[in-house]
Copies of this chain bind each other. A is one copy, B any other.
Amino acid sequence: MVNISDVASEAHVSVATVSRVLNDKDTVKKETRERVYAAIEKLNFEPNILARNFRRSESRVILIITPNITNPYYAHILSGIGDEASSLGYSALIFNTGGSLEKEKEGMEMLKIRRADGAILLASAVDSPHLLEYADRYPVVQCAEYDESTDLPRVSIDNYKAAAEVLEYLVSLGHRKIATISSRNSYISTVQRMDAYKAAMADSGIAVPKSYIAYADGDYSFKSGKKAAMKLLSLKDRPTAVFCISDTLALGTVSAALELGIKIPEELTVTGFDDVDDTTMFHPYITTVKQPCYKLGEKAMKLLYDRIQKKEEKNHLILSYQFVIRESSGPLK
């Protein structure tokens, strides 16, 4: 393998000079620079990344802490992170936590032993004190979800605003019996979407019976969404609209309605959140809020890179979402 000193001899300069042109440093005389480039070309030299990483003591690896890459929502974000990462010269260490704090911590240890230069958290809960412990020693950014009490860099959409928009739409359609299917977890997206729900109901002077607030499992599973919907739709005073905080939950609701013979959107309006692929697979296509997942990931990686480079730029990025009205919603009859 040809190394920097081979290039140096070939170009009749010192290794220092070669290193300089490699990092377009300082002022290397144009002429010398060209001689070096020629030598590099001629010898087909590729700098040894391992040596460089060692010398600079950086791993060029980033840590991605995610509940589950198998979930298309996270997969899309990951895709954005991954593309941006590799174009910046980084690899990814993906830590699937399955929601366990234990695992999340284990992942963060990778920072300590220098396996990774920084981390992107795809699922920090609203209250994650253990996080902070790492965050002030290592570069950490939060993507999609975040703990508001920290001022760590983060990218997300404005979940409150998005949810508010959906609810305003529902109300404008004439709905007053608006139920919701939420989930028992501590993600800020959940919290804010629910806050928006409660605020919208209050603003419209709608009293929400307790039974209208249903909960699915923490992982937003289709099955648990369906189960929650079954309860909701069997209520004596059945809601005419169900505001779901995720698409899978909305899909579960559609499935439940189908089984109960309730027509969508004539008799029931259903809305989702996130816009994963399945929302336009079967009719009715789901009315939902499209998150810019890929971009979320891309930006998160950019933020992390800045952080690693110590460029402290704008810290809290809010990307725009898109409210997509499709077939699962309609005016109250």
A68 and chain B: residue at smallest CB distance: B79
Contact between B82 and A86, CB atoms less than 8 A apart:
no
Contacts of A186-226 to chain B: CB distance below 8 A: 222
Q: Quick one: given A75-B72, A282-B282, are A61 and B91 in contact (CB under 8 Å)?
A: yes
Asked if A23 is at the interface of the complex by the 8 Å CB criterion, the answer is no
Q: Which of B48, B49, B50, B72 contacts A70 (CB 8 A)?
A: B72
Chain B residues near A114: list those with CB within 8 A. Answer: 46, 48-50
Chain B residues near A76: list those with CB within 8 A. Answer: 70
Contacts of A42-64 to chain B: CB distance below 8 A: 46, 48-51, 53-54, 57-59, 61
Asked if A278 is at the interface of the complex by the 8 Å CB criterion, the answer is yes
Contact between A115 and B91, CB atoms less than 8 A apart:
yes
Chain B residues near A51: list those with CB within 8 A. Answer: 54
What are the 4 closest A-B residue pairs judged by CB atoms, nearest first? A54-B54, A91-B93, A50-B54, A82-B94
Q: List 29 A-B contacts (CB under 8 A).
A: A46-B112, A46-B113, A48-B114, A49-B113, A49-B114, A50-B57, A50-B59, A53-B54, A61-B61, A69-B75, A69-B78, A70-B76, A70-B79, A72-B72, A72-B75, A75-B75, A79-B96, A82-B94, A82-B96, A83-B96, A86-B93, A89-B115, A91-B92, A91-B115, A91-B116, A255-B282, A258-B282, A278-B278, A278-B281
